[in-house]
A and B are shown apart, each in its own frame.
Chain A
Amino acid sequence: MNRRKIGVYVCHCGGNISDYVDVEKVVDAVKDEEDVVVARTAMFTCSDATQQEIYDDIRELGLDGLVVASCSPKLHTFTFRGVAKRAGLNPFQYTQVNVREQCSWAHTDDRQGATEKALRLVRAGIARTRLLRPLEPTVVETVPKTLVIGAGIAGLRAAIGLADIGLSVVVVEREAEVGGWVKDFGPMYPRDKEGRELVRQLEAKVRQRENIALFTSAEVVRKAGSFGDYVVDIKTHGKSSMTMQIHVGSITVATGFDSYQPEEGEYGYGIDGVVTLPEYKKMLDAAEGSLEYHGRPVKDVAYIYCVGSRQGDDGPHQYCSRFCCSAAVHSALELYTRDPSARQFHLYRDMRTYGRYELMYRESREKGSTYLKFAEDEPPAVRKGADGRLVVTIRDQLTGQKEVEIPADLVVLVTGMVPRENDALVGALKLPVGRDGFFNEIHPKLRPVETVVDGVTICGACQFPKNASESVASGLAAVTQSAAMLKQGRAELDPQVASVDPQLCTDCGVCYATCPYDAISPQEGHEGRRVAVIDPATCKGCGGCAPVCPERAINLEGYTQAQIKAMIEGLAREVV
């Protein structure tokens, strides 16, 4: 075999890596390995200066393989593929080795062990790189049309943006009406715009646009095809029930959230006069003049915050729902406009009226709202008093830990957001669901609306708790992302996918069911035999199928059987 020319770059990451991994030692140990023609350390490998250095090495030394040992491949794979490409090296002849998350961050107590592990990983990386061959991305034609699922405020705004950028749009909404939660709201924070009115305006804009087709009382039942040309079955309910099939290039999911439903007895829920935030909002929006509840005037209102949110290490909802502090404070202000003499008590854990919403918090205090702070392990209790009114007890951390009883006509449980049950859709689209139950993006900062399924983006509160303006902002991000994918008319897919060697395949069938993306199917006609065939546009390169094949007929490009074997040898070699 011809000798390879491999360059190895080991990163300090400032001190993130080099504080716990002796990077010089790693470079020393590999610089004389077979096929390695240059090995260096760098303070920040991703910096412009080091990128230039790698570029120069590729050109001057004629490198045909590149190994970067720095952070997670999630972060900089595209950075270094870019460097390779600019310098004329095929971007798939590069290997990322993760010596930060897997070595320095994981073994802060063991410098020697971390260094040895880093060396082994780098050797495995070199072994893999030795067997890499140049690859060209799979090019697919894209249909200039996007499917938006869910017509809440995020989905509606995304549909308008997509249409205005020149794409055709199909919107599918499960309910008979569009608008999601916002369609029923009166004034909303921060600018007191009416939710009803907002939705009316958005719906009018959607209906004006000829390149948007809106289906209500409809659902997505099946998705086939692959990025660029997804084939989707839509079913409409009701009188004119029918199923239709459409072709779209990409899909944007905007299916929203559910409100937390307290258990019977949770903070007195179930007692007459204890209501959730959405129930309270509805009462307020409907009230003219001062508030009444079941015919009785409401003078004293107690709010209990973080109900169904921030549930500690064991609860299913450990996150902060973000919108509820601001929505509750805004509701308090709404009550003051109806009845300036209302007395309002806010029992909270932490006030998170972030950014400019702080101004509402201040205004509410200036109008007389009183805030009491309770500890996580000593929540307030609600009961019915002797006079029939409600009584809330709290140990107030702001009043010398004194226990205080608050009389109330109404107790509002400030309920948070929970993920909406959507199993059928998750199954049809293979949507990635996070540990919190919301849909997951690839990276919260670097790729905030894309999912691991090519061409499928997420936006709005189905991703994590967001208020209306944040939902709309992410909807617009999904527009930009979809346009970037579809406006060129063609897309490049990662060629590191699996393929079946038809000579070896016996059509035993064990691989078909292993693929989570349904990429493998039997096909007739290989020398008169039926064999398994993998669609390169659908395959995600997860590798799940390769090890189950008893004939070793499946190879994953970039991680072939030979490469895996070579990597194991690299990992297992004596360190010395």
Chain B
Amino acid sequence: MAVARPTFIDEVRQSEQFNAAACMNCGVCTAICPMGLEHLPREIFRYVVLGMEEEVLKEQETVFSCLLCKLCEENCPAGVHITENVRSLRHYFDRKAFRI
């Protein structure tokens, strides 16, 4: 059982632009991603907003595979700043996993 840690999102958030919670889980981004990234960005964002840190850490590969092409962001009906959010996540990995 995963325990939600509501303060985790504050560790990931890089800027005011970070708005993972605005996602309404429609799935458009997953369907449209040219890399076919299965867990990006929708599910990883949920791990972030729910504070499921171990799940986020498992997704390093995915987070760095994103092309930042913005195809998903252009089509997101909820106005989620997907690429900005992915950048925030990369910074988080830099600090947390690579310690840079």
> Are the C-beta atoms of B19 and A399 separated by less than 8 Å?
no
B35 CB within 8 Å of chain A: no
> Are the C-beta atoms of B43 and A407 separated by less than 8 Å?
no
Say which one of A80-88, A362-370, A417-425, A483-491 lies at the interface with B. Answer: A362-370
> Are the C-beta atoms of B46 and A366 separated by less than 8 Å?
no
Once the chains are docked, how many angstroms separate the CA of A400 from the CA of B42? 11
Cross-interface CB contact of A365 among B1, B3, B22, B43, cutoff 8 Å: B22
> Are the C-beta atoms of B1 and A405 separated by less than 8 Å?
yes
What 0/1 readout, one digit per residue, does chain B (37-51) give for beta carbons within 8 Å of chain A? 000000100110110
Cross-interface CB contact of A399 among B3, B9, B46, cutoff 8 Å: B46
Once the chains are docked, how many angstroms separate the CA of A366 from the CA of B51? 17
Which of B9, B21, B79 has the most chain A CB atoms inside 10 A of its CB? B21
What 0/1 readout, one digit per residue, does chain A (140-159) give for beta carbons within 8 Å of chain B? 00000000000000000000
If A365-B78, A366-B19, A399-B43 touch, whether A405 touches B24 (CB-CB below 8 Å) is: no
If A398-B46, A399-B43, A399-B47 touch, whether A368 touches B21 (CB-CB below 8 Å) is: yes
- Residues 377 to 414 of chain A near chain B (Cβ within 8 Å): 393, 396, 398-400, 402-407
Please, which residue of chain B has its CB at the minimum distance from the CB of A351? Answer: B24
- Interface size of A in residues (CB-CB distance below 8 Å): 24
- Residues 90 to 106 of chain A near chain B (Cβ within 8 Å): none
> Are the C-beta atoms of A365 and B2 separated by less than 8 Å?
no
If A366-B21, A370-B21 touch, whether A400 touches B43 (CB-CB below 8 Å) is: yes
B25 CB within 8 Å of chain A: yes
B33 CB within 8 Å of chain A: no
> Are the C-beta atoms of B52 and A404 separated by less than 8 Å?
yes
> Are the C-beta atoms of B21 and A365 separated by less than 8 Å?
yes
A31 CB within 8 Å of chain B: no
A430 CB within 8 Å of chain B: no
Once the chains are docked, how many angstroms separate the CA of A367 from the CA of B23? 11
Once the chains are docked, how many angstroms separate the CA of A366 from the CA of B81? 11
B34 CB within 8 Å of chain A: no
User: What residues of A have a CB within 8 angstroms of the CB of B97 in the complex?
Assistant: none
Q: Tell me, rounded to whole Å, the shortest Cβ–Cβ distance linking A341 to chain B.
A: 9
User: What residues of A have a CB within 8 angstroms of the CB of B71 in the complex?
Assistant: none
B36 CB within 8 Å of chain A: no
A300 CB within 8 Å of chain B: yes
Once the chains are docked, how many angstroms separate the CA of A369 from the CA of B9? 12
Please, which residue of chain A has its CB at the minimum distance from the CB of B19? Answer: A366
Once the chains are docked, how many angstroms separate the CA of A343 from the CA of B2? 18
Q: Tell me, rounded to whole Å, the shortest Cβ–Cβ distance linking B51 to chain A.
A: 9
- Residues 43 to 67 of chain B near chain A (Cβ within 8 Å): 43, 46-47, 49-50, 52, 55
If A399-B43, A399-B46, A399-B47 touch, whether A404 touches B21 (CB-CB below 8 Å) is: no
A439 CB within 8 Å of chain B: no
Please, which residue of chain B has its CB at the minimum distance from the CB of A365? Answer: B22
> Are the C-beta atoms of B43 and A405 separated by less than 8 Å?
no
User: What residues of A have a CB within 8 angstroms of the CB of B28 in the complex?
Assistant: none
B32 CB within 8 Å of chain A: no
> Are the C-beta atoms of B4 and A405 separated by less than 8 Å?
yes
User: What residues of B have a CB within 8 angstroms of the CB of A343 in the complex?
Assistant: 6-7
If A399-B43, A404-B50, A404-B52 touch, whether A365 touches B4 (CB-CB below 8 Å) is: no
User: What residues of A have a CB within 8 angstroms of the CB of B4 in the complex?
Assistant: 345, 404-407
> Are the C-beta atoms of A405 and B47 separated by less than 8 Å?
no
User: What residues of A have a CB within 8 angstroms of the CB of B43 in the complex?
Assistant: 399-400
Which residues of A pack against B, CB within 8 Å?
Answer: 300, 343, 345, 361-362, 365-372, 393, 396, 398-400, 402-407
Other contacts beyond A362-B78, A369-B21, A399-B50: 5, CB < 8 A:
A365-B24, A399-B47, A404-B4, A404-B52, A406-B4
- What are 30 A-B pairs with beta-carbon distances under 8 A? A300-B6, A343-B6, A343-B7, A345-B4, A361-B24, A362-B22, A365-B22, A365-B23, A365-B24, A366-B21, A366-B79, A368-B21, A370-B49, A371-B24, A371-B25, A372-B50, A398-B46, A399-B47, A399-B50, A399-B52, A402-B52, A403-B1, A404-B3, A404-B4, A404-B52, A405-B1, A405-B2, A405-B3, A405-B4, A407-B6
Q: Report the 6 A-B pairs with minimum CB-CB distance, sorted nearest first.
A: A343-B6, A405-B3, A406-B4, A365-B22, A399-B46, A370-B49
